[in-house]
Structure 1
Amino acid sequence: MVTTSRDPSVRLRLFAKELCLLLPGARRMNRGHAELGALVAACRGAGVTDLVLLSETRGRPDGLCLCHLPHGPTAHFTLSGAVLRQEVGGLGGAPLAAPHLLLLRLDSALGRRVGTILKHLFPVPRPDTRRVVTFANEDDVILVRNHVYRRRGRKVELEEVGPRFQLRPYLIRLGTLDQGDAADVEWRWHPYTATAHKRHLLAAPTPAP
C-alpha cells in the first residue's frame, strides 16, 4: 500500500501513482486525515504486506518510509532526484509484471540488510519477464532505475521507463511505523561523528593493493 503525507501536492500524488507501477500489486490510498496508527491497523486488517509512506517539502518528494507488516522492520530513507515517467521519456506504458532485481554494491552487512528490506517489496519474477529494477549503491546513495528490454536478433535494446529517484537510508527500527520511538533502533545514521566522511556504509571496503 502506497500513501502520502497529509494534503499532498499534485507532484507527490503523481509520484505515488507511479511508484505503484514500479511495485507489482501495489495500490495507492488517499491519506486524508488518518493517523499513523489507523493507517497501520487498516493495512493489517486488509492483509497488506508493506506500507510505503511518501513525504515532501514544498512540493518536492524528499522522504520514503517503508514498513513491513505485520511486525516490521521499518526503514526510513531520504528521497531525492524524483523524475516522473513522462519526464524520463521512455515507453508510454511500462509492464506491470514482477521485475528481475539488480542489487549492486550493497555488499556490507548494512548494505545486505537494506537490500533485503527493499527486495521483499517484489514477488519472485517469471523467467521471461522483460523488466529490470536496479538498486545501485553509489557513495551510500541508492540509485533506483526501472528498465524494460527487448531482444532483436542478437541485440538487446534497453529502455528506461521510470520513475527514477535516489534513496539514502538513515534509520531502521525493528517495529512498525505506528510504534514510533517505542520501537528499538536497529541502525541509525550518525553523520556528525569524526569518521563519518571516511566511511562507506553500504559497500564493503575495498582491500588495499
Structure 2
Amino acid sequence: MGGKRKNSAGTTSGHSTQEGGQHVKKKEKIVETLLPSTIKNKEKRSAVHAKIKHQKGLEKRKRAKAREAAEQRALELGEEPPLKMIPRTIENTRELDETICKPDDEELFAGNDADEFSSILKQDCTPKILITTCRFNSTRGPAFISDLLTVIPNAHYFERGTYDLKKIVEYAKNKDFTSVIVVHTNRREPDALLIMALPDGPTAHFKLSKLLLRKDIKHHGNPTSHKPELVLNNFTTRLGHRIGRLIQSLFPQDPNFRGRRVVTCHNQRDFIFFRHHRYIFETKESKQAASSGKKIKDNKDEESSEQKVIARLQECGPRFTLKLISLQHGTFDSKGGEYEWVHKPEMDTSRRRFFM
C-alpha cells in the first residue's frame, strides 16, 4: 500500500510539473500576443516591448539582405534591378494645393518684376537693415541680435527705448533703410520676429523657437565679413514664394564665394529652419583606392582616379526655427492693418496640409 501511494504520488507530481510547464508556456504565448500597453506589470511590459522590437529588427535585416541579393543577382544577369520602395511620409502624401508654383507660371514671374522686393533683387539698391527690440528687453535679446549682425551684412542695431514702432519705421524710411527687424522677447527669451519691408511693406510676423546662440553650439566657427550665399528650400506655394523673396531681400544679391559662407532657410511642414555654416571642399581617397594602392603601389594614375571630393561643414550659428503667424499689407499696424494671410487654429485640421 505504501509503495502504491509513493508511485501514485510520484505520478501525480510528474503530471503536475508537466501541466505547470505547459501552463507557463501558454501564459508566455498569451503575453506575447498582447500589446505592451495593455500589460500592467512594468517588468513584463518592458520585456515584451524589447522582444517585439528585436523581432522587428530581425525581420528588417532579412528584408534588406533579400533586397541586396536581388539587386546583385540582377546585376550579374544584366537585368534591371528591382524598383526601390519609397516610404510614405507626410511630405510625399501632402494634400493637393492649387497655389503651388509651377516653372511655366508666367503670371508669377510677371508679378516678381513689380513686387516690393524687385528693386533689391535686381540689384538696383543695396539692402540696409535696421534691427531693434521690443520695449521690455532682456539679456538674451541683444545676444541674439549680435549674432544676427554677423549673419546679415549691412545691418545696424538701434536701441528701442520708449519709441513707438511707427516712429521707428518713419526714421528708417528717412535714413533709406530697406527693412526693419524687431526681436520680441518674453520671459527673457526671444520668441518672435517681425520683418518689415520698407517703404511699403509687407510685414511678416514669425514665431521663433529652438533658439541656439553661437556660443552654445559645440565646435562652432567664427564667420568672416564676406557676403554670404543664401539657400532657400521648399518655398513652393504662392505664399511660400512671397516669404522666400522677403527673406531674400535681407541679403545682398552678389555673394562673395571666397568667404565660403552659406545661410540656409529650409522650409519643412511650414517650419523654416535657419542655419549658418562655413564650408570647405577636400579631396579624399575612397576605400577602393586605398585597397588598390596596397596591391598596386607603382601605378599612381590608378590611385588618383579613385579620389573623390567631399564637403565639410562647420556651423557658425545662430540656429533657430520660424513659424509664420501672419503676413500683413504695408508696414506694421495692429489696429487697422489688412492681412494677406493669417494662421488660425481651425486651419490645423490635417497633418498633411501645408501652406508654404
Q: Is the TM-score greater than 0.5?
A: yes
Retained in 2: the 8 A contact 1:65–1:74? Answer: yes
Does 1:163 pair with 2:305?
no
The amino acid of 2:201's aligned partner reads: G
The amino acid of 2:353's aligned partner reads: R
RMSD: 1.6
Does 1:138 pair with 2:268?
yes
The amino acid of 2:182's aligned partner reads: L
Give 1:156 shift: 2.4
Partner SS for 2:132: strand
Count of residue pairs brought into register by the alignment: 201
Aligned to 2:216, which of 87, 100, 120?
87
The amino acid of 2:346's aligned partner reads: Y
Partner SS for 2:171: helix
Give 1:32 shift: 0.7
Aligned equivalent of 1:183? 337
Please identify runs of 4+ aligned residues in structure 1 that moved more than 2 A.
89-93, 126-129, 151-156, 179-183, 193-198
Higher relative contact order (CA 8 A, sep 6+): 1
Partner SS for 1:199: coil
Q: Distance in 2 between matches of 1:200 and 1:64?
A: 21
Q: Distance in 2 between matches of 1:73 and 1:111?
A: 14
Does 1:26 pair with 2:155?
yes
Retained in 2: the 8 A contact 1:190–1:196? Answer: no
Does 1:192 pair with 2:346?
yes
Partner SS for 1:128: helix
Aligned equivalent of 1:206? none
Structure with more strand by fraction: 1
The aligned runs of 1:107-118 (5 Å cut-off) are 107-118=236-247
Aligned to 1:77, which of 195, 203, 206?
206
The amino acid of 1:28's aligned partner reads: Y
Greater alpha carbon shift after TM alignment, 117-126 vs 89-98: 89-98
Retained in 2: the 8 A contact 1:103–1:115? Answer: yes
* Residue identity (%): 33
The amino acid of 1:188's aligned partner reads: V
Q: Distance in 1 between matches of 2:132 and 2:348?
A: 37
Q: 1:180 to 1:196 in 2, by over 3 A?
A: farther
Q: Distance in 2 between matches of 1:20 and 1:151?
A: 27
The amino acid of 1:25's aligned partner reads: N
Q: Distance in 1 between matches of 2:257 and 2:280?
A: 14
Greater alpha carbon shift after TM alignment, 132-141 vs 119-128: 119-128
Q: Deviations over 1:38-71 (max 9, x none)?
A: 1111111111111000111101110000001111
Q: 1:107 to 1:193 in 2, by over 3 A?
A: closer
- TM-score, scaled to structure 2: 0.54
Q: 1:142 to 1:91 in 2, by over 3 A?
A: same
Q: Distance in 1 between matches of 2:220 and 2:167?
A: 37
The amino acid of 2:343's aligned partner reads: W
- Flag the structure with larger Rg: 2
Give 1:197 shift: 4.1
The aligned runs of 1:90-129 (5 Å cut-off) are 90-124=219-253, 125-129=255-259
Retained in 2: the 8 A contact 1:90–1:162? Answer: no
Which segments of 5 or more consecutive residues in structure 1 lack a partner in the other structure? 203-209
Aligned equivalent of 1:55? 184
Q: 1:104 to 1:92 in 2, by over 3 A?
A: closer
Which segments of 5 or more consecutive residues in structure 2 lack a partner in the other structure? 1-129, 284-308
Q: Distance in 2 between matches of 1:160 and 1:93?
A: 9
